Chain A
Amino acid sequence: MASSQVVKALIVDDNAMIRRIHMTMLFRFGFEITEVEDGKKAIDQFLDGNEYDLVLMDKEMPNMDGVEATRTLRGMGISTKIVAITTDSNSMGAFLDAGADEFILKPLNFPALADILKGFNFLN
């Protein structure tokens, strides 16, 4: 886990509304949230020395899509849990091959998110 006891999450999605929804869900669990709007900015977060326990990764984004961002993070040796969240059901194979830990279709709902977080042991 990142250095503090609080779970740190990075939300990566080009849609401000969806970032707001996912942020609100994660706040309910007491997580500390950072949001960025594309895959390149997600990479930059890690290159700047930030640490995260969890990444929620969209697929279709400008500058760098979620599959490429996932592959790049794994290539950098980042072992943070990555959950792919997209409407594109055909991208599951690509995301898992790139190194995502979980794949879930939008829309994300609170119980489904809780199950994933429990699976990662992020919830007490």
Chain B
Amino acid sequence: MDVSMLQRTYTDLLTSLFREGILNQQFIELQQLQDENNPGFVNEVVSLFFEDAGRLITELISNFNQQAVDYKKVDAYVHQLKGSSASIGAEKIRSVCQTFREYYDKNDIQGCYNCIQPLKQEFMTFKSKLEALFALEQQIVAAGGSIPMMRH
């Protein structure tokens, strides 16, 4: 695939991530912090998010599988995940965390529980889409092209 085709594919994928509500404006903020002095910044930050969010979701699921669920601990994990996802522009993940906290504040345990599977699903979708995006970036750079910037 030539560079312009790769760049078009990249732009289409990135546009679709915003259109589907998977990413929000905060992601563009991060892209704008990346420059020649900091070329791998977005990739690095997203990789840190994958690690952190993956760990938190594993802890959440593990806690919900206990006989006596420690909801205070669960809420703390979701609070952390909400902060991380908001900081990286992972809008759908942030939104599910927000919904969870609203249920928690109303002591709606079933509502809380019903958020866990969607949270896991949104994280897996986010991870696979961002990995595809970064793979395209690598191909563009390897082909001698530059990464198109999104204006939002």
> What residues of chain A have their CB less than 8 Å away from a CB belonging to chain B?
15-18, 20-21, 24-25, 27-28, 60, 86-88, 106-110
* Contact partner, B79, options A16, A17, A28, A60, Cβ 8 Å: A60
Contacts of A86 in B (CB 8 A): 83
Q: Does B82 contact A (CB under 8 A)?
A: yes
Known interface pairs A20-B45, A20-B48. Does A28 touch B80 (Cβ–Cβ under 8 Å)? Answer: no
What sequence of 0s and 1s flags, for each residue 55-88 of chain B, a beta carbon within 8 Å of any chain A beta carbon? Answer: 0000000000000000000001001101110111
* Contact partner, A17, options B29, B52, B82, B89, Cβ 8 Å: B52
- A49 CA / B91 CA spacing, docked (Å): 41
Q: Is the CB of B86 within 8 A of A17?
A: no
> What residues of chain B have their CB less than 8 Å away from a CB belonging to chain A?
26, 29-30, 32-33, 38, 41, 44-45, 48-49, 52, 76, 79-80, 82-84, 86-89
Q: State the majority secondary structure of interface residues on B.
A: helix
- A28 CA / B34 CA spacing, docked (Å): 10
- A110 CA / B41 CA spacing, docked (Å): 15
- A109 CA / B30 CA spacing, docked (Å): 9
Q: Is the CB of B83 within 8 A of A110?
A: no
Q: Is the CB of B45 within 8 A of A60?
A: no
Known interface pairs A25-B33, A107-B26, A109-B26. Does A15 touch B41 (Cβ–Cβ under 8 Å)? Answer: no
Q: Is the CB of A87 within 8 A of B83?
A: yes
Nearest Cβ on chain A to B27's Cβ, whole angstroms: 10
Contacts of B30 in A (CB 8 A): 21
Name, among A28, A86, A107, A110, the residue most crowded by chain B CB atoms within 10 Å (CB to CB).
A107
* Contact partner, B41, options A18, A24, A109, Cβ 8 Å: A24
Contacts of A24 in B (CB 8 A): 33, 38, 41
Q: Is the CB of B29 within 8 A of A109?
A: yes
Q: Is the CB of A110 within 8 A of B44?
A: no
Question: Which residue of chain A has its CB nearest to the CB of B97?
Answer: A87
